[in-house]
Amino acid sequence: MKKVVYWSSEEVSNWLAEEGMPEYTDSFQRLNGEDLLQLTEADFKKPPLSLVSSDNGQQLLNKIETLNIEHHIEAHKNGHANGHLIKGNDGDVGSKAKRNGMPNGFRNEMVQIHMPMPEKSHFPMEWGKTALAFIYALFCFVFTTVMISVVHERVPPKEETPPLPDKFFDIFDRVEWAFSICEINGMILVALWLIQWTLLKYKSIVGRRFFFIVGTLYLYRCITMYITTLPVPGVHFKCSPKLLGDWEAQMRRIIKMIAGGGLSITGSHTMCGDYLYSGHTVILTLTYLFIKEYSPRRFWWYHWICRFLSVVGIFCILLAHDHYTVDVVVAYYITTRLFWWYHTMANQQILKEATNTNFFSRVWWYSAFQYLEQNVSGIVPRNYQLPFPWRATPFSRNVKYTRLDT
């Protein structure tokens, strides 16, 4: 572009028309570039320009100034315009370095406006983390079984150490079949939870939480079982004989227990000594808490049934004199507190950072928690989804909307 000072009056009028100021065209008919540049505010106060201009010529003066800058930049094409010296050849860097003589923001060509990328999902699946949590839970289960086997060797025999005095046992006598009820209830609850879990949309996140909490509870259980060994709660117990030092037999025993899930019904719970605290109570309570948490609130009857199963199961443990009362109480306390603690931390963004007002960050598993939950922002919604694709069938056409996500 030619410098403004060299513009002819024709070019001036062209420029005025381009810039959308045709009202000056008449008055500036004899004005060339140099005169244009010399226009000042005072000129707009006197006629004839004062009659033509509506804003005392401000707009025009601004545009003239812009022109000035453009040409100043053009004149100093060594790149000072953008504040720094740009070295190098043309075309090797992006549009910013191209010397078009324009100041920052002034471009002649088309500019691409970047659209923000669609937001990352608030609830990424991250099955890898769920797998890790599963491995952790599995490890804790196996460790617990090994620990039970170790502790079994140390349980004092019934003859030497009678059962400890327990208030519940004083009030209620033993009922033979009660423990089977407890285990059946436990199995029903676990099955219900499993079915519910497969129907959840955010399976991986919920599964991760379940595995982590269950693993940690069993880990705590290992510790309390190991450090102090309580005697058997009742003379009815049939403890298998001790295998002092026989590692192979112990290994077989461990595998048998894992295969049976540690239940008496399956005949795998023949070892004694794992009293403080009660694993059955943990499972009963935890499955109920998870069922309640991740099911719709409308299903109050479902929650009541599960709660009933859970309470009856726990009561039956005590009725069968299979655990001391303190085992059950401590198990309930630790399970509920851990569950609430974890879920409060997961639901509040403010607790996911370790500040000094956040005492929750002082638990030992905080870094594991952060790893598992850092990408989950917000409360996991209770959405449901069939695990297999549901093809449209004749009878499903009548459904106007469904609560299941496709």
Of all helices (H) and strands (E), which one includes residue 44?
helix 41-45
CB 75 within 8 A of CB 67: no
Out of 230, 283, 286, 331, name the contact with other proteins by CB under 8 A.
230
| Residue 245 in contact with other proteins, rule: CB under 8 A | no
What is the spatial distance between Cα 223 and Cα 95, in angstroms, rounded to a whole number?
A: 65
> What is the chain's alpha carbon radius of gyration, rounded to the nearest angstrom?
39
| Residue 98 in contact with other proteins, rule: CB under 8 A | no
CA torsion sign, 278 to 279 to 280 to 283? positive
Out of 11, 63, 82, 163, name the contact with other proteins by CB under 8 A.
163
Tokens of 373: 């939950």
Instruction: Identify the DSSP state of 117.
Output: P
Query: How big is the site for other proteins, counted in residues (CB under 8 A)?
Result: 53
Out of 59, 270, 358, 375, name the contact with other proteins by CB under 8 A.
358
| Residue 347 in contact with other proteins, rule: CB under 8 A | yes
Question: Is 280 an active-site residue?
Answer: yes
Listed as own residue / partner, the contacts of 250-254 with beta carbons closer than 8 Å and 24 or more positions apart are 250/149, 253/149, 254/142, 254/145, 254/146, 254/149
What is the spatial distance between Cα 65 and Cα 106, in angstroms, rounded to a whole number?
A: 14
Nearest to 65 by CA among 22, 23, 36: 36
| Residue 337 in contact with other proteins, rule: CB under 8 A | yes
The span of 121-129, 139-147, 201-209, 333-341 binding other proteins (CB under 8 A) equals: 333-341
Least distance between other proteins and beta carbon 175 (Å): 11
Tokens 């497969």: give the residue.
198
Q: Which amino acid is at 332?
A: Y
Least distance between other proteins and beta carbon 193 (Å): 18
Nearest to 378 by CA among 118, 124, 196: 124
Q: Which residues contact 179 (CB under 8 A, 6 or more apart)?
A: 264, 316, 317, 320, 322
Question: Is 71 an active-site residue?
Answer: no
Tokens 């569950």: give the residue.
339
Least distance between other proteins and beta carbon 201 (Å): 18
| Residue 296 in contact with other proteins, rule: CB under 8 A | no
Least distance between other proteins and beta carbon 367 (Å): 16
Out of 348, 377, 383, 402, name the contact with other proteins by CB under 8 A.
348
Catalytic residue among 152, 269, 280, 321: 280
With respect to other proteins, which residue has the nearer C-beta, 108 or 357? Answer: 357
Least distance between other proteins and beta carbon 340 (Å): 4
Question: Is 323 an active-site residue?
Answer: yes
Tokens 């496709």: give the residue.
406
| Residue 170 in contact with other proteins, rule: CB under 8 A | yes
| Residue 177 in contact with other proteins, rule: CB under 8 A | no
Tell me the catalytic residues: 280, 323, 327
Binding site for other proteins (CB under 8 A): 154-156, 160-168, 170, 173, 223-224, 226-231, 234-236, 276, 324-327, 329-330, 333-334, 336-337, 339-341, 343-344, 347-348, 350-351, 356-360, 362-363, 379
